[in-house]
Amino acid sequence: MLPRNKILEAIKESTERAQLNSKEYTLFGRIYVYVNSPIMSGIDIRSVIGKIEDIMPPHLMDEIDEIFIGMFDENEDRSLEAHYENGAIFISNLLPTETDYIENIVHETSHSLEGRYGLSIYGDKKIEEEFLGKRRRLYNILKQEGYDVALYDFEDVEYTKEFDNFLYQDVGYATLNNVVLGLFISPYAATSLREYFANGFEEYFLEDKNYLRDISMQLYHKILELIENDSL
């Protein structure tokens, strides 16, 4: 018969193996995380969950009931790593690092807030005015650089594939990285008002909140409002 300490050690090892092989987890004890397809070797979803719990105020994830990791038609059709829909986040199982999962969960969390708190986020037009001011500066820079641009395209706050393609293909994100420095958090933040908010949300929780405050004061304060007032 094994000594008691050996039995306890075997139980512990068995439990740890079961957790590692688990395909169902919980975030904040209530958001179910399902791994529907094999993920890349070396990625520990429990580690991803732990880091999310460390950085995110729980009430900001109240609109999320489930997170699914797998292969999804909408992600494939739209060349997305993740999307939010009806209380659930759908993430590709092919992301190469834990950081990619964390970034996508935080990004899609920002979009989950728009349904319930859209009026609080966008209603006073403060971040819209800030966004459009930056868009106009981007227009002037690109025009001076010789690009064929029309101001009305830069005045549209909604996402359009045509404008995204112009930035990504015609200008190129390598060029834009230099152009938007100190103006937008990233080139993708310039594609629409919603992505401006989402990229700022990511920057606040994952990167440098002071940098966000310095270049996007209205967006910074809007995120603070969401954090500090969970009864909006």
Domains of the chain: 4-117 (3.40.30), 124-228 (no CATH)
Average pLDDT over residues 112-140: 96
Return d(Cα 101, Cα 104) in angstroms, integer.
Answer: 5
Residue 56: pLDDT band with limits 50, 70, 90:
very high
Looking at residue 9, its pLDDT comes to 62
pLDDT digit string, tens, across residues 173-205? 889 999 999 999 999 999 999 999 999 999 999
- The mean per-residue pLDDT over the stretch 165-171 comes to 93
Share of the chain above pLDDT 70, in %: 89
Banded model confidence at residue 231, pLDDT cuts 50, 70, 90: very low
pLDDT at 19: 47
Identify the band that residue 78 occupies on the pLDDT scale cut at 50, 70 and 90.
Answer: confident
The mean-pLDDT minimum among 2-16, 101-115, 134-148, 164-178 falls in 2-16
Positive or negative torsion for Cα 135, 136, 138, 143: positive
- Which range among 17-31, 34-48, 108-122 shows the weakest confidence by mean pLDDT? 17-31
Q: How much is the pTM?
A: 0.87
With a cut of 70, say whether residue 138 has pLDDT above it.
yes
Q: What is the mean pLDDT of residues 23-37?
A: 96
pLDDT for residue 189: 96
Task: Kindly tell me if the per-residue pLDDT of 89 is higher than 60.
Answer: yes
Q: Quick one: pLDDT at residue 14? A: 44
Predicted local confidence at residue 18, as pLDDT: 42
pLDDT of residue 5: 60
- Mean per-residue pLDDT over the chain, rounded: 91
CA distance 79 to 56: 27
Encoded tokens for 27: 């975030």
User: Among 15-24, 29-38, 124-133, where is mean pLDDT lowest?
Assistant: 15-24
